[in-house]
C-alpha cells in the first residue's frame, strides 16, 4: 500500500490499514460487514473508528469496496465519495436489502460469511509465513 497515494499520513499504523484493506477486499458484492467486524478481523476489535478513518482515505473502490462496510446498527456510516445517499444506491444496486435507511442484516448468512472470511484470512496469513 502506498500511503502517500492513499492520502494517509498516520491513521493508526500502516500494517493495520493494510489489514483493514485486506479484510474489506474479501467482502463480496451483495454483502456487508460492520466496522467492528472489520476491526476484529484486522486484529484490533476496539479499533472500529480507525477502520472508518482508513476507509475514508481509500480512493481505489474497485479493489477495496469500502461502501460495503456499515455500522453495527445497520446505519450506513459515511462515504467519502458521494455521501450516504450514493453509498445506499451502490449497495441497493448490489442487492443489499434495506429497512428504511438501515441495512437489513441476514443473520444466518452474515454469520456464515464472517466465518468463511475469518478462515480465508487466517489461511492466507499462514501461507505467507
Q: Which residues pair with 89 in a beta bridge?
A: none
In whole angstroms, give the CA distance from residue 103 to residue 40: 20
> Is 66 a residue of the active site?
yes
Question: Which entry of 17, 24, 66, 90 is annotated as an active-site residue?
Answer: 66
The answer to whether 77 and 54 have CB atoms below 8 angstroms apart is no
57's CB contacts (< 8 A; 6+ apart) are: 6, 7, 8, 11, 80
User: Cα–Cα distance between 16 and 65 in angstroms, integer?
Assistant: 17
**Closest to 26 measured CA to CA, from 117, 98, 125:** 117
Residues tagged active-site:
66
Amino acid at each position: 500500500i502506498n500511503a502517500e497515494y492513499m492520502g494517509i499520513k498516520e491513521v493508526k499504523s500502516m500494517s493495520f490499514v493494510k489489514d483493514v484493506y485486506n479484510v474489506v477486499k474479501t467482502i463480496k458484492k451483495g454483502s456487508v460487514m460492520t466496522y467492528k467486524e472489520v476491526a476484529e478481523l484486522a486484529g484490533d476489535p476496539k479499533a472500529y473508528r480507525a477502520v472508518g478513518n482508513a476507509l475514508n482515505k481509500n480512493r481505489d473502490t474497485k479493489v477495496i469496496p469500502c461502501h460495503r462496510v456499515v455500522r453495527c446498527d445497520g446505519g450506513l456510516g459515511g462515504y467519502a465519495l458521494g455521501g450516504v445517499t450514493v453509498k445506499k444506491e451502490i449497495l441497493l444496486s448490489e442487492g443489499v436489502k434495506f429497512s428504511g435507511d438501515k441495512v437489513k442484516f441476514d443473520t444466518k448468512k452474515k454469520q456464515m460469511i464472517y466465518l468463511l472470511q475469518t478462515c480465508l484470512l487466517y489461511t492466507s496469513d499462514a501461507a505467507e509465513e
